[in-house]
């Protein structure tokens, strides 16, 4: 297939996802590297407004997140978040694909919070989780648990702070 063939990007994307699936089964690092290479090629081969670009970006972010989980490089997580964010700009806000991307975006931000403890990531994860839930048709409930996890983490972070900031009461010269 020549570089201008519109099917080439689709082939790279499919091959990349096959390598990702094989990596998840056999944990061969070369499969993960091949998945990343092919998913990046798929994105590179399409113009910015190509109808499949959001799909390719979504798959690339999945590979990047998997590599982060395997190797622990925060750069992979950051890039996965950026690719998901870009994909969100390319998809109609009314589509189910947009809801799935929004849920992924919230999860990736929550994961980054778990590593960095940056409250801005946790807060944005909750905002995006709520946004996705408010748009989900009744037949979908996959985002509810993710939002609950983010809210629980925020409570775990803020509750000790609230306790330590509790005003002191002085009664008869003693602190209670």
What rounded mean pLDDT belongs to the chain? 85
Picking from 29-43, 106-120, 130-144, which range would have the lowest pLDDT averaged per residue? 130-144
Which residue ranges make up each domain of the chain? 1-90, 93-165
Residue 163 has pLDDT above 70, yes or no: no
**Is the pLDDT assigned to residue 50 strictly greater than 80?**
yes
**DSSP run (H or E) holding 121:** helix 119-135
Q: At residue 88, does pLDDT exceed 50?
A: yes
Q: Which fold has domain 1-90?
A: 1.25.40
Q: How far is CA 82 from the centre of its chain?
A: 9
pLDDT of residue 145: 64
Answer with the residue of higher pLDDT: 3 or 95.
95
Weakest mean pLDDT among 2-6, 150-154, 163-167:
163-167
Residue bearing tokens 């801005």: 120
| Tokens 């290479």 found at | 37
Confidence of residue 176 (pLDDT cuts 50, 70, 90): very low
Q: What value does the mean pLDDT take over residues 137-142?
A: 58
**Mean pLDDT over residues 53-59, rounded?**
98
Gap between the Cα atoms of 37 and 43, Å rounded: 10
Please give the Cα distance from 125 to 42 (Å, whole number). 28
């Amino acid at each position: 297939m020549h570089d201008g063939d519109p099917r080439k990007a689709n082939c790279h994307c499919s091959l990349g996802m096959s390598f990702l699936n094989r990596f998840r089964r056999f944990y061969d690092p070369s499969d993960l590297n091949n998945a990343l290479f092919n998913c990046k090629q798929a994105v590179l081969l399409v113009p910015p407004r190509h109808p499949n670009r959001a799909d390719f970006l979504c798959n690339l972010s999945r590979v990047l997140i998997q590599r982060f989980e395997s190797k622990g490089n925060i750069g992979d997580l950051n890039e996965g978040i950026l690719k998901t964010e870009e994909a969100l700009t390319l998809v109609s806000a009314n589509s189910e694909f947009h809801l799935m991307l929004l849920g992924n975006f919230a999860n990736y931000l929550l994961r980054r919070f778990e590593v960095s403890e940056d409250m801005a990531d946790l807060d944005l994860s909750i905002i995006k989780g709520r946004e996705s839930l408010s748009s989900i048709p009744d037949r979908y409930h996959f985002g509810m648990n993710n939002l609950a996890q983010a809210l629980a983490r925020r409570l775990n972070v803020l509750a000790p702070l609230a306790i330590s900031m509790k005003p002191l009461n002085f009664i008869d010269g003693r602190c209670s």
